Amino acid sequence: MASRPSSSREPGDLAPVVEMPPTGAKGARLQEIFEAWVAELPTGSPIPSERDLAEHFGVARMTVRLQLDRLAQRGLLYRHRGRGTFVAERRVAHTEHLTSFTEDMRARGLEPGSRLLGIEEIRAGAQLAARLEISASSRVIRIRRVRTADAEPMAAEQTHVPARRFPGLLDQDLDHGSLYDLFEHRYAVRVAEADQRVTVTDLTADEAALLETEAGRPAFRIERTTRDADGTVVEFASSVYRGDRYEVLMHAKRDPGRH
Ligand code: 16G
């Protein structure tokens, strides 16, 4: 699997010829071949055209496109409109690094974006107060956004932050850019650690509408409690990620003292 696409894109330079199974299993097999091949290519390598790949593997162009789409959705490839498809950076977002949505998407080779659904100040109440470790009468700012990746909905996100810590946040432009950037540059609040809970859920009709997919589809529900370096809670967020677009990536290291 060492062959690489050259600028002349000769079919001989494409992924090695592998015997293709009959229809049906072809897509899955192609996915495996592409994945192994892409893993060996340096970041930024161009991927040959769908037409060349289709010819090379003796499959329909749609089959190739579908499998390339899947690799792009998994963050292994990225597309540049008008320029082609390329191997994405292999820096994956995993639990060792606390990332913002913006950083997470960039690490997957996707262009992050937001659509602000609403921002308001509310009374914490018992439940949020417990999450944010503040009193129930404290004020909280609630931000609701649809987060996009390459302009398509990826997650619906609801974030709560203590209002005292972020004066004037209601007037900030959260339709663009990163909340964590604002935390850091406007409020000198640096997120230092977070606890996350990931569960699997079916999308409700409202969530599906926001995510431009169908109700009942599987999704990840991710709750995050984020703290600054002093251990003070700065955020409680709850997000629903489309199961067909998102993968939860983890990196685990064994404690060196453990035998
Ligand atoms: C992620 C966080 C969310 C945080 C947001 C900031 C999860 C489950 N949630 O979506 O808690 O508010 O990043 O992203 O990871 P931003 O800086 O791009 O606005």
Asked if 203 and 158 sit in the same domain, the reply is yes
pLDDT at 142 over 80: yes
Residue 73 located in a structural domain: yes
- Residue 236 Cα to ligand 1 midpoint, Å, equals 10
Boundary of a domain, candidates 37, 55, 89: 89
Asked if 97 and 150 sit in the same domain, the reply is yes
Closest atom of ligand 1 relative to the 112 alpha carbon? 18
Ligand 1, pocket-test mutation among 108, 157, 161, most atoms within 8 A of CB: 157
Asked if 33 and 128 sit in the same domain, the reply is no
Asked if 56 and 99 sit in the same domain, the reply is no
Say if residues 183 and 190 touch (Cβ distance below 8 Å). yes
Closest atom of ligand 1 relative to the 181 alpha carbon? 17
Asked if 8 and 106 sit in the same domain, the reply is no
Confidence of residue 256 (pLDDT cuts 50, 70, 90): confident
CATH number of the domain enclosing 52: 1.10.10.10
What pLDDT is recorded for position 146? 97
Domain count, the chain: 2
What pLDDT is recorded for position 121? 97
Strand partners, 160: 142, 236
78-96 pLDDT, tens digit each: 888 788 899 876 544 455 6
- Residue 178 Cα to ligand 1 midpoint, Å, equals 8
Residue 166 located in a structural domain: yes
What pLDDT is recorded for position 35? 86
Tell me what the mean pLDDT of segment 2-25 comes to: 48
- Residue 6 Cα to ligand 1 midpoint, Å, equals 39
- Residue 101 Cα to ligand 1 midpoint, Å, equals 4
Closest atom of ligand 1 relative to the 159 alpha carbon? 12
Asked if 108 and 195 sit in the same domain, the reply is yes
pLDDT at 16 over 60: no
Asked if 102 and 65 sit in the same domain, the reply is no
What pLDDT is recorded for position 41? 87
Structural domain including 67 reads 1-89
CATH number of the domain enclosing 119: 3.40.1410.10
- Residue 100 Cα to ligand 1 midpoint, Å, equals 4
| pLDDT, mean over the chain | 86
Boundary of a domain, candidates 23, 56, 89: 89
Residue 9 located in a structural domain: yes
What pLDDT is recorded for position 4? 39
152-207 pLDDT, tens digit each: 999 999 999 999 999 999 999 898 889 999 999 999 999 999 999 999 999 999 99
Ligand 1, pocket-test mutation among 96, 145, 224, most atoms within 8 A of CB: 224
- Residue 216 Cα to ligand 1 midpoint, Å, equals 24
Asked if 139 and 82 sit in the same domain, the reply is no
Asked if 29 and 124 sit in the same domain, the reply is no
Boundary of a domain, candidates 63, 89, 115: 89
**CA distances to 29, 37, 197 from 109, in Å:** 24, 18, 25
Residue 253 located in a structural domain: no
Asked if 227 and 134 sit in the same domain, the reply is yes
As a whole-number percent, the residues of the chain with pLDDT over 70 amount to: 86
Asked if 26 and 70 sit in the same domain, the reply is yes
- Among residues 229, 150, 149, which one has the least CA distance to residue 193? 229
Residue 255 located in a structural domain: no
What pLDDT is recorded for position 91? 46
Residue 182 located in a structural domain: yes
Asked if 190 and 68 sit in the same domain, the reply is no
pTM of the model: 0.68
Tell me what the mean pLDDT of segment 132-160 comes to: 96
Residue 84 located in a structural domain: yes
Which residue did the predictor score with more confidence, 23 or 190? Answer: 190
What pLDDT is recorded for position 8? 39
Lowest mean pLDDT among 148-152, 164-168, 220-224: 148-152
Tell me what the mean pLDDT of segment 208-223 comes to: 95
Which residue did the predictor score with more confidence, 45 or 13? Answer: 45
41-68 pLDDT, tens digit each: 888 899 999 999 999 989 999 999 999 9
- Residue 17 Cα to ligand 1 midpoint, Å, equals 42
Q: Maximum CA pair distance of the chain? A: 69
Kindly list the strands in the beta sheet with 46-47, ordered across the sheet, starting from the edge strand earlier in the chain: 46-47, 84-87, 77-80
Q: What is the CB < 6 Å shell around ligand 1?
A: 100-102, 157, 159, 178-181, 222, 224, 226, 235, 237, 239
Break the chain down into helix, strand, coil percent, rounded to 5. Answer: 30, 30, 40
- Among residues 170, 140, 144, which one has the least CA distance to residue 233? 140
